[in-house]
Structures are given as structure tokens and as C-alpha cells.
Amino acid sequence: MGKAVAFHGYKSSPENIDWLIAPLREAGFKVVTPVIRDVDDGYEEGLKELPADVVAGHSMGGTVALLLAARNPGSVKCVIAVASPVDRRLQLQYLLQSEDPYLKKLANNLASLGNKLEQTSPSRFIGNGMPPVLYIRGSEDRVVPRTHVDILAGLSDRFNFPLEVVEIEGMAHSPQREGHVAVVADAVKKFVAKYCAP
């Protein structure tokens, strides 16, 4: 049985990403779901689980997944990131422009990290040996802009790793509707069957 590690988002929990865990289990993986506080902490927890066939995550958890694969070439067969910041400095700049109280709060939390933002940005570490990546986002995501897909696409061209992008029409930062959950599950199963079947 293959092994997958799935990380939840900021101030969330594994129970809230069942829509990501379930399709990985259905695809035949044993899924480990660490409880994490931030990207640093998630990275340390993830290191304990390497090597892994799949590292996956939502939002902050997807940033952790990308970082684990980027900094440990050969230890991860493939990555699934859902609505995840690829460059955390860019994410901070984006959030600082928002008038939304929740996004302003997120911006303050990110700003307090200072130089750690750079040290925990996957874009800084992605290079040769990066495994295939599936990036899923909603067309209505107001938390993480589409720019992060563009950054990843540029890195995919430069370092020649497969990148599949699935943009779900009408979905916000996470899949809430049954239809969106079904699209995520389908994309996850197809991707792992292609690149990292257990």
C-alpha cells in the first residue's frame, strides 16, 4: 500500500479536508494526516513521514506539501496542492491590499513572520528533481490569487516537471458544494493513477 501525507489549512484540522483525504484513500493510499500550526511546523512533521508517494494539502497545507517536495528531491513521487500560496511574500502583498477583515488578519499573521516568509516559500526551492504537481484552485478564490499558478507554471517550464492545473468554476478557497468536491476527487484520482499509483 502506498503512503500519502495530507496537510490541512491554517487554523483548520484534518476533519476539514476529508474531500482531499477520501479520494487518496479510495485510490489505495494509506493517508497520514498530521495536525499542524504553521508552514514551519508542517514541514518538520512532514519530514518525519518521508519518503511518501504523495504529499497533498489545502491552502497552507499545500504550501507545506510543495516545500517538502522541493527541498527533498527524490523523497516524494507527486504533489497535490489546493489553493496554496507558492510565493509567500507575494501572498502577503496581495493580502495587504484587501479591505476584508479576515484577509487583513491573515496579512498581519504573515507579516509577523518577517524573513521566515522567504524561507518557507516553495518558489525559492523548486528546482531540478521536482516531482509532478497537481494544482487545484477555484475560479472564485479570494484568498490566494491565480498568480501563484503562473509562478508554478514558469517553474515547471524552467525545471521540466509535469504540472497539471485544474480550475473549478464557481469554487471559492475550498470545495463547499458537492459538485466541487466531486471534481476535486476526480482530478486527484486521475492524477495519482497517472503519476504515483501505489
Domain residue limits, the chain:
3-193
How far are the Cα atoms of 56, 180, 193 from residue 28, in angstroms, in the given order? Answer: 15, 22, 10
**What is the CATH number that goes with domain 3-193?**
3.40.50.1820
Task: Specify the pLDDT at position 36.
Answer: 96
The mean per-residue pLDDT over the stretch 81-88 comes to 97
pTM above 0.85, yes or no: yes
What single DSSP character describes residue 38?
A: S
Has residue 198 got a pLDDT over 80? no
The mean per-residue pLDDT over the stretch 67-95 comes to 96
Has residue 114 got a pLDDT over 90? no
The mean per-residue pLDDT over the stretch 73-90 comes to 96
For 77, the enclosing helix (H) or strand (E) is: strand 76-82
Q: Is 30 helix (H, G, I), strand (E, B) or coil?
A: strand
Has residue 109 got a pLDDT over 90? no
Cell of 110: 504573515
